[in-house]
Structure 1
């Protein structure tokens, strides 16, 4: 595909892109293979239980670092097997290349998206937080300047910009937690797509095996040598212990970080 200049009309290209099939991946070069870890570390020991199997899939390389000033058009909105959100393929007018981004809600084929300091605060545009109005919904947020986006990337998640100064900004995550970031950090306008993904239950046990999830056996169904809850006539209740005998009741959910006092004060 030849390089398109910004002076050429976009309407003809938008009509052509509306006919592209969405089920097959558009970018063949953006696909890479994934080696299954099955919950094991580099020494082969299981660190995450109930993982194994899973359908064979290829990873779509997503552009989480949209710092350069660029302008592109949405070619397709595709399904990604490695995440619960949809992705969108973008054709960059300046570089003449394709790349994938996380597709926000209300982003359709043929829309023009921009990134960098010259971008306007519109859906799908990536720009510094200092140029985003207070109260806007944002996603795909970088925790530090010139770093890849790591915050609010799952389907249906978002953050809200509550306060902003010349140097810092305060955002509220969808969980209610608040974070302080640099105003130079980049974020994308909008809410991540496929927000109703949690409403579709698994129709059979085999779907969990496709998703690399192995079954979890209840402790009361085991023998006494296998679990503290095992054995006995009937079900045991009130023990509340893990497989290794640690209590699951009245445990600390969150670590309390102690602030060291300045001895000079």
Structure 2
């Protein structure tokens, strides 16, 4: 579907000024970006699943939907969805709890597996979008719904938030063995040089004679920040008030 494809421009980890901002990227295979429908705004119009397709830009497969009016869209393919099935997006309580259907959290029974979850009503899906993942509706309290996320975090969402029913497919992705270095290069992953193998100008672990250790109490990043155990979440983040149980130990 050419109107649902756009070129995914290579950046090799550089920003607009050419400076490396993400190390270890570059040299990947050319890709086209599939324009996925994150909002599911075509309401109460059943769509036919024309095909389940591979998407090189994400870990899960995508499904091509064809609506009766001729509109075509991509969505993430949940487990159990196959070509020929019908899916629908609705803001009414009448929607069936079948994989691929999208509706508001307030209409979903407790224990329902969901994915493609919005953080803000109407903004579009932002979380639970990787292969094999599912969040679960735990309880409801008025205009709030409590959801357990795949990370173990328990969080409060607005009842008007939209999500898609079912767990995402391609659940064996994490067990995939690339087999050779060339597969990583095709994915745009360049080799990572250990800090102890570098010179002291390039890394805090570098230098020394022969096979020497890191020479410090705890490991550090290339920029001198302590790693292994240091918490990276921003303190007093605005969303802390929505988190009931943290996934941070």
Question: Under a length normalisation based on structure 1, what TM-score does the superposition of the two structures give?
Answer: 0.82
Q: Equivalent residues in 2 for 1:1-265 (5 A)?
A: 27-67=1-41, 68-93=43-68, 95-118=69-92, 119-233=95-209, 234-237=211-214, 239=216, 240-248=219-227, 251-257=230-236
- How far off is 1:145 after superposition? 1.4
Larger Rg: 1 or 2?
1
SS at match of 2:185: helix
Report the 3-state secondary structure (helix = DSSP H, G, I; strand = E; otherwise coil) of the residue aligned with 1:43.
coil
CA contact (8 A) 1:171 1:179 kept: yes
- C-alpha change, 1:96 and 1:244, in structure 2 (3 Å) is closer
d(CA) in 2 for partners of 1:258 and 1:246? 21
CA 1:215–1:182: 2 relative to 1, 3 Å: same
Runs (5+) with no aligned partner, structure 2:
239-249
For residues 131 and 58 of structure 1, do their structure 2 counterparts lie closer, same or farther at Cα, with a shift above 3 Å needed?
same
Mapped partners of 2:177, 2:31: distance in 1: 21
Residues 126, 221 of structure 1: CA spacing in aligned structure 2 closer, same or farther, 3 A cutoff?
same
Quick one: distance in 2 between partners of 1:252 and 1:47? 21
Q: Classify 1:226/1:212 alpha carbon distance in 2 versus 1 (closer, same or farther; 3 Å).
A: same
CA offsets per residue over residues 80-124 of structure 1, 9 Å max, x none?
01101000111112x222111100001111111111124222111
Q: Secondary structure at the match of 2:148?
A: strand
Paired with 1:249 and 1:196, the residues of 2 have a C-alpha distance of 28
TM-score (norm 2): 0.87
| Aligned residues of 2:206 and 2:214 also touching (Cα < 8 A) | no
Deviation at 1:238, TM superposition (A): 5.0
How many angstroms apart in 2 are the aligned matches of 1:196 and 1:229? 36
2:101 and 2:230 mapped to 1: Cα distance? 43
Q: Is the 8 A contact 1:122 1:189 kept in 2?
A: yes
Q: Deviations over 1:191-220 (max 9, x none)?
A: 011011010111111111111111110111
Query: Aligned partners of 1:178 and 1:30: how far apart in 2?
Result: 35
- Residue deviations 1:158-183, cap 9 Å, x none? 10000113311110101101121111
